[in-house]
Amino acid sequence: MKWLFLVNDNSYLMGFLGRLAHQTVKEQDSCLVVINSKIAEYEKKKLFPDKAKFISKVDWLVENYHEDTKEFGDLSWREIFLYEILDVNYNYSLRLVSQLYQFFGFIFAEEKPDLVISEPPGGLFHQIAYYFCKKNSIPYLGLGSSKFSDRLDVYDKDFTCAKYEKTFNSLKDNSFLAEEEEFAKNFTENFISHRFLPPYMGLAKVHFSQIEVIRHFLRRIKEAGPSLFRYLKKRNHFKDFDYESEAILKCAIRAPWKTEKRKFNIFFQNRIFRNLNNDKDFFLFPLHFQPEASTSVYATYYCDQLNTIKNISLTLPLPYKLYLKEHPVAVGTRPRSFYKKLEEIPNVVLISPYEDTEKLIRNSLGVVTLTSTIGMEAALIGKPVYVLGSVFYSYHPLCKIAESFKDLKEKIQNDLINKPDIGDLESINNRFIISYYRNTAEGDTQSALTENDTNDYRLILKDLKKMAGKNF
């Protein structure tokens, strides 16, 4: 079989994918590596086996892109997830999509991969690749760190996880092992109490202090420095076809200013937030960090958080309030004007990002969210969760997907009148965690970054082939 690996500047996943690619070569499979940018090529190519076939998206576009040919298939603007650091406009956006459409049209027509593997479809590069996978009925495995320290989330079609719900519905209390039940109980307790933090949460810790913010940006610039200089030497040749390297370059240039601006904001914005009191007549809304796929991709139509919060506040019956808890990673990144507009809404209260999340949830009447993991935490605690985006935990009985603000209003009012009763919460939670665990794959992306890598890539490949759903 032919594996197609999509490579970008992702720092936490590419090491893992590189070692996985080495295993495909060992097993005599064909290995194709498609690289998104020149900076990724300079930094990440060395992680992959020499025997792999490498194709540079940038080099191909330089030689083959037809400016006058504008093809978009049946793509919509939803597929475009562009970072704010890019100075984009209508024509530039169409050009990017046209470039990627032509490129992946070539890849899938000429190379005919059996399976595509990378991160979940978020950025434009992966979105278009995913589009062609669907068009050609080819499995796309989007890997990401799961809530379990040594397991991988593997995203299926349209970024949902219907397989979790299928397993959940098929499970009976006596159909799982005693050790699975014990694991589920321990995980639930640790997750709610925050005694356990998955790897991706550890990556966010650098943002909690001003000193660490500075160190983080300096480290990123140092890591990218040699590659950036290499790119700059031939920038005029590549820049029209390498939006990712352009984004990295602009991020590096703006990093010192953004760091100082963030320090300034943190100092003055701390007085905006309120501490938790004994109020219990409120719903909790966790603010989302932006720009990020969690909003732009998984909650496309609600990613304008200011307007979304205004509309949520309007759905709440009197006298209930909406508490907003800032995302710890986002502290200092938003302008004062954003919070000022929120403060103008009568039933909205800004809560300190450092308040105890578990206590907030337990004091609340429920959680309203786009895609936040706090929704999962709330469901495990026994609180209703109202979701406006696409989340993997939607199959928990306390999770309710709202199709519109009108639907959200009706669901909240119904629950206030008829308190949700799902029966034995512990049993439900056990089934929920076990069904989630059974549908993750073996693998630890963090371990791949160390010299003492504990991953068994032979077993991981076997797992992924099974999850792809084809007899390879």
Taking residue 368's Cβ as centre, other Cβ atoms within 10 Å add up to 30
- Map the chain to HEC letters: CEEEEEECCCCCCHHHHHHHHHHHHHCCCEEEEEECCHHHHHHHHHHCCCCCEEEEHHHHHHHHCCCCCCCCCCCCHHHCCCCCCCCCCHHHHHHHHHHHHHHHHHHHHHCCCCEEEECCCCCHHHHHHHHHHHHCCCCEEEEEECCCCCEEEEECHHHCCHHHHHHHHHCCCCCCCHHHHHHHHHHHHHHHHCCCCCHHHHHHHHHCCHHHHHHHHHHHHHHHHHHHHHHHHCHHHHHHHCHHHHHHHHHHHHHHHHHHHHHHHHHHHCCCCECCCCCCCEEEEECCCCCCHHHHCCCHHHCCHHHHHHHHHHHCCCCCEEEEECCHHHCCCCCHHHHHHHHCCCCEEEECCCCCHHHHHHHCCCEEECCCCHHHHHHHHCCCEEECCCCHHHHCCCEEECCCHHHHHHHHHHHHHCCCCCCCHHHHHHHHHHHHHHCCEECCCCHHHCCCCCCCHHHHHHHHHHHHCCCC
Domains of the chain by residue range: 2-161+442-468, 166-200+434-438, 203-269, 282-432
Residue 88: what pLDDT? 67
Report the distance separating Cα 43 and Cα 63, nearest Å. 23
Burial of 150 (0-12, 13-18, 19+ CB in 10 A): middle
**CA nearest 12: which of 199, 276, 280?**
199
Residue 471: what pLDDT? 53
Residue 203: what pLDDT? 43
Residue 264: what pLDDT? 66
Residue 166: what pLDDT? 87
Main-chain phi, psi angles of 228, to 5 degrees? -60, -45
Query: Which residues, in sequence order, are bridge partners of residue 142?
Result: 118, 155
Residue 250: what pLDDT? 79
Instruction: Tell me which residues of the chain have a pLDDT lower than 50.
Output: 82-85, 199-208
Residue 159: what pLDDT? 57
Tell me the CATH class for 2-161+442-468.
alpha beta
CATH superfamily label, 282-432: Glycogen Phosphorylase B; (3.40.50.2000)
Topology match between the domains 2-161+442-468 and 282-432 = yes
Residue 191 structure tokens: 């997750």
Residue 156 structure tokens: 């299926």
Report the distance separating Cα 111 and Cα 125, nearest Å. 17
Considering the entire predicted model, what is its pTM?
0.86
Residue 37 structure tokens: 């940018």
Residue 451: what pLDDT? 87
First to last CA, the chain: 7
Residue 396: what pLDDT? 95
